[in-house]
Chains A and B, each alone.
Chain A
Amino acid sequence: MKRWFGFGTTALGAAVLLTASGSVLAQTKGGDVVIAITQAPPSLDAQVTSAQAARNVTLQIYETLYARDENAKPVPELSEEAKISADGKTYVFPIRKGVKFHNGKELDAKDVVASLERYRKVGASASLLSAIDKVTETGPHEVTVTLKDVQSTFLDNLSSPRAPIAIYPAEEAAKPANQINYIGTGPFRFVEYKPDSHVKIARYDGYVPNPKATGRDGLAGKKEVFLDTVTFRFMPEAGARSAAFEAGEVQLLETVEGATAKRLESDKRYVVYKVLPFAFQVIKFNHAQPPTNDVNFRLAVQAALDMEEIMAISYPDINQIDGAWLYPGAPFYTKTGTEKYNQADLNAAKALLAKSGYKGEKLTFIVDNLRANTDTATVVQQRLKDIGVNVELSVADWPTVSKIGFTPNGWQFWAHGYGIEPYEGPASVMAPWVNGTSQLKKDDKIDSLSAALNSAMDEGKRKEIFVEFQKHMYDNAVAMKAGNYGLFQVGTAKLKNFKPYRIPRMWGVWLEP
């Protein structure tokens, strides 16, 4: 564990040095960067999809009223600020003046109102705005949002990059889902989308940066573009991606396997980046089925598992052993309540199992065909065999598994990653367990904690609530967090000042000839 945190500190130091040195290097304008991504975005209508493949592209084209800074804290982007009324129900957003859409039109309150209203109707995460009572244009550059009830996480929601609440021109926002022209206010403008091939974006020379921003800062901050164009090439085959990279046709690989990263690391022509943490590896229980509906059974499994083993096999060289349900460094991050994490205690597990109603029946572990997830399932299967639990793996593609995993029958265990939720913060981490969505049985404690978190305006109180949630997750083994994992990204050494983040940010970077 120490080794990892040690490495993380070194990597962070290196990243800081890299960023610092970047500012004194001569910046070169021009060039096309080709980024190999594993799959095509399902849509470039940012509001209607929460797919990572879409975010990679759309967050370069569109902007939001509030966006997340480097530490995922909401900060103003297209809005100058948020004036919150004393009762916490009214938010007044003065809209920045002089901001231009890619079609040359100036952003005003009408665009913001139309975009928020559209999101409430067709947004992929429309529940982010479910607290809104009404959105009103209260001036040419002012929008007032009235909430039905106090929602402490409203600015968190408004700035969520999951399915971004992108601001479109009003005429585009009047169109149905997936029917818009791709026009935003971001530092890049849309150029072309060739299905099954690529998306191309180009520097928007009319971009008006946020005057208050000083440097690159998460998904907000100063967005200065040096590149002429960026091409996202859809390359599903890993071998083809790295071949294209080594042949010089691609300048950045969005994700590579550890073995490829290791091989390329020793070559001075390339730079390997670690995006760690990028997600949690979570093993879910189906609370609607025996024996995983039995808390003693779940606690037995929790006691048995060796998380270091799971993470070392599933994500070699790119994992962190950490039981907290937030990323290290996040404002609400705490290890309190995680004492039952990574016990690897087979005797305790057997004792708990004896108290459960498990009678040796065969249990189903559903998992998609992503190598790391099947590895996790396999390690869990072998470990549980040691305490006499009989687990069978059922591997299928993602649409199949994700369909079964939200139905109460046909599975007991399911492993997959959670990436964006911990980035967004405590409310998003709790959300999948509210109303029993993920565990398929309502958990009143989680529901009440979530409601309390959403209504508590006091930060100290919210932190307490989150600790209680974390403790509840472990005391009841609602689900198990195996650890944090990351991504290896590889870029050409000619790509300067690149700093990995949740999306490959293409502002602030340049290509050396």
Chain B
Amino acid sequence: MSRFLVKRLAGAFVVLVLVSLMSFAIIWLVPGDPTAAFLDTSATPDQVARLRQQLGLDRPIAMQMLDWYARIVQGDLGHSILLNRSVTAAILERLPVTLSLAGLALAFALVMGVLAGIVAAVHHNRWPDQLVMSLALFGLSVPDFWLGIMLILLFAVKLGLFPTGGYVPFSEDPFGWAGTIIMPALTLAIIQVGFVARMTRASMLEILNQDFIRTADAKGLKRAEIMLRHGLPNALIPILTVGGIVAGALLGGAVIIEQVYSIPGVGRLIIGGILSRDYPVIQGGLLFLAVIYLTVNLVVDILYAVADPRVRLE
């Protein structure tokens, strides 16, 4: 186990170095800099040059890169040009927002997806299966930003059940938090529900055709017991893999959903950083998301062993 962990951590380190290099290089290859956010088109070259100097953008790229690496080894992601605060602080402020959004969306996706998958597998080739699979296909096909706007129009504007956007921290008002987070989480989850449902159905169908399930059936066990005690646990490994992928996809999808619902999360921070060329925010934000993604995948690998003792992590 420890050898496995060391190997995985070493691999993660290499990935992080690559992500940091790429995020730095891409930013410097794309034209534009943060002065565009501060100044208008009438700014003279002198004004632009002076602002660049104030922001430290006039130094050689190699120097800026060395500074950036020197800082990240100390756990410092740099200082946001536009927010005028440390990138770490800016991310940590927004992290609970994004985690609660992605976490709730993951819960929705797994619970709804697994249930729908089981229903489809149990009623294989009958109307519930076709209905679930059609809905799953719809969920997979519909663009999340469009769905978000439609849900806002229906549930917020027409029915007035939820606010149209914004965010209330859980610590301030748990009901307010639920009101602001449920609809965005559901929007974010819809695509993944379809994905999880299809995966669960396929996995369950494979398991349900195995000999041990036929034996359990022959023994006279109840259908529900067969499904939950023998079918689902054995179908869990592929679902876990999907869960890891879904968690990553939800973090990525949160970027769009946070825009649509005006939620002040990490995704919106990064989008704002990109649009205004706030380099430290983009670099720090991407690195941070990479760390989360790698961590989720590591946890999923470890969970394999928990779900199936036959899996040897070494």
Interface residues of A (CB under 8 A from B): 39-40, 42-43, 48-51, 122, 124-127, 162, 177-179, 194-197, 233-237, 239-240, 243-244, 246-247, 249, 396-406, 416, 418, 420-421, 428, 431-432, 435, 437-438
Contacts and interface: CB of A to CB of B under 8 A. Distances in A.
B47 interface: yes
Contact of A235 (B42, B84, B165, B275): B165
Contacts of A246: 157
Interface string B34-48: 101111111111111
B259 A416 contact: no
B116 interface: no
B33 A244 contact: no
Contact of A402 (B36, B50, B259, B260): B36
B264 A195 contact: yes
A399 B36 contact: yes
User: In which size bucket is the chain B interface?
Assistant: 35 or more
23 contacts: A39-B275, A42-B276, A50-B38, A124-B51, A126-B47, A162-B42, A179-B84, A196-B265, A197-B167, A197-B262, A197-B264, A235-B165, A236-B271, A237-B145, A237-B149, A247-B157, A249-B163, A402-B36, A402-B41, A403-B32, A420-B42, A421-B42, A432-B41
A248 to B, nearest CB: 9
Interface string B248-284: 0000000000011110110011011001110000000
A236 to B, nearest CB: 6
B240 to A, nearest CB: 33
B188 to A, nearest CB: 15
B40 A420 contact: yes
A403 B36 CA distance: 8
Interface in B54-69: 54
A432 B44 CA distance: 8
B213 interface: no
Contact of B90 (A195, A243, A399): A195
User: Which residue among B42, B48, B277 has the maximum number of chain A CB atoms within 10 Å of its CB?
Assistant: B42
Contact of A237 (B34, B153, B260): B260
Nearest 6 pairs of A and B residues by beta carbon:
A399-B32, A196-B264, A399-B36, A403-B31, A244-B164, A403-B32
Contacts of B34: 399
Nearest to A198: B166
A400 B54 contact: no
B152 interface: yes
A43 B153 CA distance: 32
Contacts of A177: 54
Nearest to A126: B47
B82 interface: yes
B246 to A, nearest CB: 24
B206 interface: no
Nearest to A36: B262
B47 A124 contact: yes
A418 to B, nearest CB: 7
Contact of B163 (A247, A404, A421, A431): A247
Contacts of B51: 124
Given A122-B54, A178-B84, A244-B164, A51 B260 contact: no
Contacts of B276: 42, 399
Contact of B261 (A122, A240, A247, A397): A240
Contacts of A239: 149, 152, 260
Nearest to B84: A178
Nearest to A45: B84
Given A51-B37, A196-B272, A240-B165, 8 more contacts: A43-B82, A50-B43, A126-B50, A236-B262, A240-B262, A243-B153, A244-B165, A244-B262
Interface in B75-130: 82-84, 90, 93-94
A426 to B, nearest CB: 14
